[in-house]
């Protein structure tokens, strides 16, 4: 995992409320005026024109934020516009499966946990206060929560129904055969434990922030306590235990951001890096521990399972989605049918059989990480 701090809210797309079908309003003359269109019925759910347009707009915005010119981003999204309808149909199937698996409350708990984490990282005490701050910034708290619900539910279903099943299906003999054939994947790299002080640039002259960072580095190299200064000056508490806000964790050397790897390359355990400038501010890093790597491969069952799973998981997830499509009832509006239906690859006659959405799933898989352990 890259050593990079992501702002959860900035990473989420904001979505609006879903439309009901049929979606109409009354004109003054009393005539119904359609304000949305149903593109596809998916079991008991729908995919609407407004959802599709919103999805396309969000894809364009994401590409533009990634540096792509707007005109090129719009053209790229247009090429994939019917594929996006298929993606929205898959999303509906996963959300319905999650409800069937009775994940709704767990997902809501996870949403609250993540919102509270964001609040704490921004020195906000409650979710309610966070929502107020978001509103003042022009963001919708409920839209953000709904986006999180959707993404967490989709991931939870795939982890439970696919990932964990694949992860645990390999026999001991299969694991050892794979390990013997791929020993280069299991050589232990060097790892480092890092602590951080972060000084943000927002609203401050860069020269002042840089000067403060250099002053703190001088104090630290003169013997000042790192975590004490972190608690006083760092604008991004990294720890989750509330006791050591300076700690950011342990990282394998190959997973470090290139600029961070370069900044700590010659820093010994207990040493302090020079101030490192990023787009957001300046980082001061302490190398708490250096753990030497090894040139000899070591068998670790979970690591081998993970490597084997990684090789096949994309195909296994697509097979699972295909089964959901084959077993479900999907009715695409005539305007979009010829362009979208081939993308779904539905095998008849299963596509014409309406699935009993009230049937409970049996044999739920174990989670690999989307929900915290109780």
CA dihedral (232, 238, 244, 246) in degrees, to 10, reads: -60
How far is residue 335's CA from residue 333's CA, in Å, rounded to a whole number?
6
Q: Is residue 321 part of a domain?
A: yes
CATH number for the domain that contains residue 26: 1.10.4030.10
Q: Give the range of the structural domain holding residue 256, as residue numbers without chain letter.
A: 189-291
Q: Are residues 57 and 203 in the same domain?
A: no
Q: Are residues 254 and 331 in the same domain?
A: no
How far is residue 334's CA from residue 254's CA, in Å, rounded to a whole number?
51
pLDDT 10s per residue in the chain (374 long)? 333 233 334 433 322 222 223 333 333 444 444 468 999 999 999 999 999 999 999 899 888 887 889 999 999 999 999 999 999 999 999 999 999 999 999 999 999 999 998 888 778 999 999 999 999 988 899 989 999 999 999 999 999 999 999 999 999 999 999 999 999 999 888 999 999 999 998 889 999 999 999 999 999 999 999 999 998 999 875 444 444 568 888 998 888 999 999 999 999 999 999 999 998 899 999 999 999 888 889 899 999 999 999 999 999 999 999 999 999 999 999 999 999 999 999 876 543 434 443 333 333 333 345 544 43
Q: Are residues 68 and 161 in the same domain?
A: yes
Six-digit token string for 85: 């309808």
Please count the structural domains in the chain: 2
- Counted residue by residue, the chain has a size of 374
Q: What DSSP designation does 272 have?
A: B
- Say how many CA atoms lie within 13 Å of 4 toward its Cβ: 13
Q: Are residues 253 and 146 in the same domain?
A: no
How far is residue 67's CA from residue 73's CA, in Å, rounded to a whole number?
10
Which of 258, 291, 324 represents a domain boundary (last residue)? 291
Q: Is residue 221 part of a domain?
A: yes
Q: Is residue 303 part of a domain?
A: no
Q: Is residue 271 part of a domain?
A: yes
- Of the candidates 211, 214, 220, the residue with the CA atom closest to the CA atom of residue 274: 214
Q: For 253-257, which contacts have Cβ atoms below 8 Å and span 24 or more sequence positions?
A: 253/189, 253/190, 253/191, 253/192, 253/293, 254/189, 255/1, 255/2, 255/3, 256/2, 256/3, 256/192, 257/2, 257/3, 257/4
Helix (H) or strand (E) holding 14: none
Q: Is residue 218 part of a domain?
A: yes
Q: Are residues 316 and 231 in the same domain?
A: no
Q: Are residues 267 and 328 in the same domain?
A: no
Q: Are residues 46 and 139 in the same domain?
A: yes
Q: What is the CA radius of gyration of the chain?
A: 25
Q: Are residues 203 and 88 in the same domain?
A: no
Which of 227, 256, 291 represents a domain boundary (last residue)? 291
Q: Is residue 307 part of a domain?
A: no
Q: Is residue 200 part of a domain?
A: yes
Q: Are residues 101 and 223 in the same domain?
A: no
How far is residue 127's CA from residue 72's CA, in Å, rounded to a whole number?
38
CATH number for the domain that contains residue 272: 3.10.50.40
């Amino acid at each position: 995992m890259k050593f990079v701090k992501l702002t959860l809210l900035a990473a989420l797309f904001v979505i609006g409320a879903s439309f009901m079908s049929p979606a109409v309003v009354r004109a003054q003359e009393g005539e119904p005026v359609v304000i949305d269109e149903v593109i596809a019925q998916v079991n008991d759910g729908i995919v609407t024109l407004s959802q599709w347009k919103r999805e396309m707009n969000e894809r364009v915005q994401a590409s533009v934020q990634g540096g792509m010119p707007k005109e090129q981003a719009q053209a790229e999204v247009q090429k994939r516009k019917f594929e996006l309808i298929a993606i929205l149909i898959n999303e509906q199937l996963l959300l319905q499966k999650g409800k069937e698996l009775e994940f709704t409350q767990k997902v809501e708990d996870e949403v609250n946990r993540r919102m509270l984490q964001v609040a704490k990282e921004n020195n906000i005490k409650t979710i309610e206060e966070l929502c107020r701050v978001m509103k003042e910034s022009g963001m919708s708290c409920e839209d953000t929560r709904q986006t999180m619900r959707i993404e967490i539910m989709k991931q939870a279903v795939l982890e439970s129904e696919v990932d964990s099943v694949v992860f645990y299906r390999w026999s001991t003999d299969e694991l050892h055969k794979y390990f013997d054939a791929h020993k280069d994947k299991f050589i232990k790299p060097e790892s480092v434990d890092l602590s951080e002080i972060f000084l943000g640039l927002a609203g401050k002259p860069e020269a002042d922030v840089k000067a403060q960072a250099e002053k703190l580095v001088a104090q630290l190299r003169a013997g000042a306590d790192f975590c004490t200064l972190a608690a006083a000056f760092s604008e991004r508490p990294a720890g989750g235990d509330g006791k050591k806000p300076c700690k950011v964790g342990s990282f394998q050397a190959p997973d470090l951001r290139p600029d961070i790897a370069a900044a700590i390359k010659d820093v010994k355990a207990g040493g302090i890096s020079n101030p490192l400038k990023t787009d957001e501010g300046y980082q001061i890093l302490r190398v708490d521990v250096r753990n030497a790597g090894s040139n000899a491969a070591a068998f670790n069952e979970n690591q081998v399972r993970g490597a084997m799973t990684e090789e096949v998981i994309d195909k296994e997830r697509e097979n699972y989605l295909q089964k959901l499509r084959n077993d479900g009832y999907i009715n695409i509006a005539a305007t979009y049918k010829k362009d979208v239906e081939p993308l779904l690859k539905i095998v008849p006659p299963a596509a014409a059989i309406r699935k009993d959405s009230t049937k409970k799933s049996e044999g739920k898989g174990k989670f690999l990480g989307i929900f915290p352990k109780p």
